Amino acid sequence: MKVARALQQLPIRARMATDSATLAAYSRDFARLTKRLPDAVASPQSVPDLIELITWAAREGIPIALRGSGHSQAGHTLLESGVVVDLRALNHVGEVDFDARLVEAEAGATWADVVERTLPAGLAPRVLTSEHATSIGGTLSVGGLGGTSFRYGAQVGNVAYLDVVTGKGELVRCSSSQNRELFDVVRAGLGQFGVIVRAGLLLRQVKPRVRTFMYAYDSADAFLEDLRQFLHADEGTHLLAHFTPITGSERAQLRLTVGIEHFRGAEPEYATPRNLQCSKTLPFVDTELFGEDHIFFFRYASWFGTSAEFVYPWVDHYFAWDRAREYLSPVLTGRFSPLFKMGVNTIIPIVGDADAAPLLTRSGSAEPMLLVGLFPKLPVALADLSEMVVSYAKRIEDEFGASRYLYGFLDTSRTAWPTVFRDHWSWMQEMKRRYDPFGIFNPELLRLASSTR
C-alpha cells in the first residue's frame, strides 16, 4: 500500500507497470527457485528518468531491485515488497575508440550488443562469458568470467570507468583513479551500492577465425599439469574445460578445450605446448569468429536447453590450484560428489590478481586459480532437491577451502554473509551507509546496514 500511495507521487509513473502479468513476469529469475512478487516494475528510458526514480525511492523509503537480463539464480533481482527496476532500455553502445581500445556501453546493453559494435573494428571485450544475452550492468555486478580469464581475469577487472547513480540519486564517475571506493564497491557489488549506468569497457584485438583443439584426461594431475602450461599461451587463446557425468562403468574424463584465434591461411597446426600428457587428442574444429556466435565460445544455455519445466540451482566455486587437484581427483573416480551425475561441469582457469575488485569472493592471491561450475537441472517437481546443492556446496567450501561465485544459487535466507565477505564485511557496511543511506537497494538480498532506516 505504501508503494501504491508513493507511486502517485512519481513523475515517470507512466512507465511503471503494476498489472498482474508484468508483476508475475518479474517474480522469477533464471533458476526459477525463488518467487517474489513486486509491487511494481519500472523501466526508466534514460539516465535522468533513473535519477528521478532513485530520488523518489530514497525519499519515500521504497526498496528497489535492479535487473538487467535476470540471469541471476538466488533471487538477486527479485523482491516481495517494492519496485523492480528493469534497466534494459538503457542500452546505447557508443562508437569504438580504436586507439584507446575502448567502447562505452550503457548498463542495459547486452554483451552481444557490444560485440556487434566492436567486431567490425576487429576488437572485442577482453573477457566474454558463455552467455551473450546478459547485461553489462548485470555481469559487472557479479564478476564475469570466461575463456580468456586465464589472461585477463574477470570482466570487472577490465573496465576503465563506470558511471554510477548512487542511492542518493547522484550521478558519479568512478575508476581506479577517481572515486576509487565507489568503483571498488559497485564492481561485483550485487546491486547493493548504486546503479551502474555506463561502463567504459576495455577491448582486445581479435582475429577472425578460431581453431579449437580438445584433449581428454583420465587424471586430474595430468590435466592440471597441461593446463598450467597453457596459461602462458598467446593473446587470442581461449581456455575452458569440462567434465562429464559418470555413466554406467565408464570412467569420468576431463576435457580441455583450447581455442586459438587466427587469420585465414595462418591456421595453427597444434595448440602449443606439444608435450602434453593427455590420454587422447580429439580432432580439431575450425570456426568463424565473425558473423556467428563463436566469440562466445561455449554457450551453456544451448547445452542445457533451458525450459520452464526445470529449475537450475547452479553453483560455481573458486578453487586455489592445489585444492582443485584434491577435489578433482576423487570426483573423477566417483569417490566424491553425489551431484556429479546431475549435469555438465565446467572449469575456467583464472589469473590471480590480488588487486582486482575486492568483492569478488575469490582469494586475494596472485596465484592462478580455477572456477569450477556445477550445473544441475531438476524437474520442477523435484525443486526441493536444490537443498542438496546448497549442502554439497557447503561441503566443497569446508573440505577444499573453495569460495562461492555469488551470481549462482544461494540460500539467501541462511547465507552467512559476514563469513562470505570476510575482511570486507565491515567496509561494506560503511560503503552502504555512504552510498545507499536510505537502504533502498534490495534489502531482501543482503542484510547490510543503512544509517537512516
Ligand X SMILES: Cc1cc2nc3c(=O)[nH]c(=O)nc-3n(C[C@H](O)[C@H](O)[C@H](O)COP(=O)(O)OP(=O)(O)OC[C@H]3O[C@@H](n4cnc5c(N)ncnc54)[C@H](O)[C@@H]3O)c2cc1C
Could you tell me the smallest distance in angstroms from the CB atom of residue 407 to ligand X?
A: 4
Q: Is 295 in the site for ligand X (CB under 6 A)?
A: no
Question: Pick from 210, 110, 267, 356: which is nearest to 118 by CA?
Answer: 110
131-142 burial by CB neighbour count: b if 16+ within 10 A, else e? bbbbbbbbbbbb
Q: Is 77 in the site for ligand X (CB under 6 A)?
A: yes
Q: Is 239 in the site for ligand X (CB under 6 A)?
A: no
The CB-side HSE value for 313 (13 A sphere, CA atoms) comes to 22
Q: Is 144 in the site for ligand X (CB under 6 A)?
A: yes
Q: Is 446 in the site for ligand X (CB under 6 A)?
A: no
Q: Is 69 in the site for ligand X (CB under 6 A)?
A: yes
Contact by Cβ (8 Å): 257, 212:
yes
If the CB atoms of residues 145 and 428 are measured against ligand X, the closer one turns out to be 145
Q: Is 51 in the site for ligand X (CB under 6 A)?
A: no
The three three-digit cell numbers of residue 426, written as one number = 565491515
- How far is 233 from 77, CA to CA, in rounded Å? 38
From 67-75, 201-209, 251-259, 355-363, give the range in contact with ligand X by CB under 6 A: 67-75
Which of 38, 44, 82, 146 binds ligand X (CB under 6 A)? It is 146
Q: Is 111 in the site for ligand X (CB under 6 A)?
A: no
Q: What angle do helix axes 321-332 and 386-400 make, rounded to 10 degrees?
A: 130
Alpha helices, DSSP H only, in 279-424? Answer: 300-304, 321-332, 386-400, 417-421
Cell numbers 566443497 correspond to what residue? 396
Which of 26, 300, 327, 409 binds ligand X (CB under 6 A)? It is 300
Could you tell me the smallest distance in angstroms from the CB atom of residue 362 to ligand X?
A: 12
Could you tell me the smallest distance in angstroms from the CB atom of residue 134 to ligand X?
A: 4
Q: Is 343 in the site for ligand X (CB under 6 A)?
A: no
Question: Pick from 150, 147, 137: which is nearest to 111 by CA?
Answer: 137
Radius of gyration of the chain (CA): 22
Q: Is 76 in the site for ligand X (CB under 6 A)?
A: yes
Q: Is 137 in the site for ligand X (CB under 6 A)?
A: yes
Q: Compute, in degrees rounded to 10, the torsion defined by CA atoms 429, 431, 435, 436.
A: -10
From 113-121, 138-146, 217-225, 376-384, give the range in contact with ligand X by CB under 6 A: 138-146
423 CB-near residues (< 8 Å, 6+ apart): none
Which of 83, 84, 145, 201 binds ligand X (CB under 6 A)? It is 145
Which of 34, 139, 148, 337 binds ligand X (CB under 6 A)? It is 139
Residue-level length of the chain: 453
Q: Is 242 in the site for ligand X (CB under 6 A)?
A: no
If the CB atoms of residues 77 and 363 are measured against ligand X, the closer one turns out to be 77
Q: Is 87 in the site for ligand X (CB under 6 A)?
A: yes
Cα angle 201-363-137, degrees, rounded to a multiple of 5 = 30
From 20-28, 125-133, 244-252, 286-294, give the range in contact with ligand X by CB under 6 A: 125-133
170 CB-near residues (< 8 Å, 6+ apart): none
- Other CB atoms within a 10 A radius of the CB of residue 36 amount to 18
Q: What track of x and - describes contact with ligand X for positions 197 through 236 (by CB under 6 A)? A: ----------------------------------------
Peptide bond into 273 cis (omega under 30): yes
**Where do contacts with ligand X occur on this chain (CB under 6 A)?**
29-30, 65-72, 76-77, 87, 107, 129-131, 134-135, 137-139, 141-146, 190-191, 195-196, 300-301, 407
